[in-house]
Amino acid sequence: MKKSVKWILPLAVLLCAAVLAGCSLAREDDGYAGQDELVGVFVRFLPNGWEDDHFFEYDDQAVEDYLKAHASEFSGGEIDLSSAVNSGTHVLQDWERDQCILFETLEDENEDGPYTYRSSTIGAVFNMVKQHVTVTDEGESVEVKAEVYIDAAQAFNENIRLDIDPVYRRADGLLCVGSSDGFMGAIGSVSKTIAAEWTAADAGGKETKQSISFEVSAAATPRVERAILVEMDENNQPIDTHEIDLAQDELVERVSPQAAWVLVEARLLDKDWDGEAREKTVRQLIELEDGRGEASLMLPAEQEGMLVLKTLTAAYPGVKLDEGI
């Protein structure tokens, strides 16, 4: 059920309400007026399309909990959520940041006075993230590019939906996800760009052109179902073989000091446009340089239907993973 609600927050630290302190903004991105600032993108995968999707319905308890947890980040006075609710937006929750890229200019204060700084947040579902900032006398442009991976076993389904939506910071500091057209149906490889342009004026009245863009590419990728680790001696003979526990928070396997190298055998679940899901095997060799080595595995993310690239580390007993031997 949608509601129109105002929240009263105590006076607290004021975060940046515009792109630069003291700037007035004239935004050209569609659908969002005033000082709503494009600061990122939010990605979500819906295995059953719009079925039972309440993402953009206002949840008053969730918003109340969010405002209580973040009270120090908002300015004093009223936080009017009615505009966000009625325009089809979703208040971003902390546990959803793994599905976000945020690139913000924020404001803080120290003993020398107020200052602005860059803040960049990269969610776990994003890979190969590249950020490029260009500054000239005429203005500034920010370009962010990233990749996400969709579980191939689910990607080629006519009912699925992939949303790549804009994230806005409102003038009162609230972060909201705005709805946009998603990709519906079987997905092999897609790309979407969300961008905004505006004019900023400094205290002296000088105007500069500002822009920001987020390009997200998505591709169907086989996921790792099981992985076997084989320790090999200097004569290329197996010493030990065991299955890797893929549920570990940190994928670390301690191997025998007699191991000269390690073989990782990953069992993948793959699928294409017309076929059934099938298993295939991919092998990676890990060289144990200074007693440790790494391999990469594509594993399920907390967001259903999406994958994350995780690093598997094999190391001798006693080798410190952050410092070597």
Domain boundary among 205, 221, 237: 221
Distance CA 307, CA 279 (A): 17
Asked if residue 200 lies in contact with residue 20, where contact means CB atoms within 8 angstroms, the answer is: yes
| pLDDT tens digits for range 85-130 | 555 678 888 889 999 999 988 778 888 888 888 889 999 999 999 9
Q: Which residue among 201, 221, 241 closes a domain? A: 221
Residue-wise pLDDT tens digits, 284-298: 999 999 999 999 999
Confidence (pTM): 0.78
Q: How far apart are CA 273 and CA 267, in angstroms?
A: 20
Round the average pLDDT of the chain to a whole number and report it. Answer: 82
Total domains present in the chain: 2
Of 188, 221, 254, which residue constitutes the final position of a domain? Answer: 221
Q: For residues 143 and 238, state if they share a domain.
A: no
Q: Does residue 33 register a pLDDT over 90?
A: no
**Residues spanned by the domain of 308:** 223-315
- Structure confidence at residue 119 (pLDDT): 86
Predicted confidence at residue 35, as pLDDT, reads 60
pLDDT at 231 over 90: yes
pLDDT band at 220 (very low <50, low <70, confident <90, very high): very high
> Does 297 or 21 have the greater pLDDT score?
297
Domain-embedded: residue 73: yes
Q: Is residue 323 part of a domain?
A: no
Long-range contacts at 31-36 (CB < 8 A, ≥ 24 apart): 31/87, 31/178, 32/87, 32/168, 32/178, 34/171, 35/170, 35/171, 36/168, 36/169, 36/170, 36/171, 36/176
pLDDT at site 175:
87
**Alpha-carbon span 235 to 238, nearest angstrom:** 9
What is the reported pLDDT for 23? 27
More confident residue, 81 or 134: 134
> Which pLDDT belongs to residue 218?
96
The pLDDT value recorded for residue 19 is 27
Query: So what's the pLDDT on residue 249?
Result: 86
Segment 224-228 mean pLDDT: 96
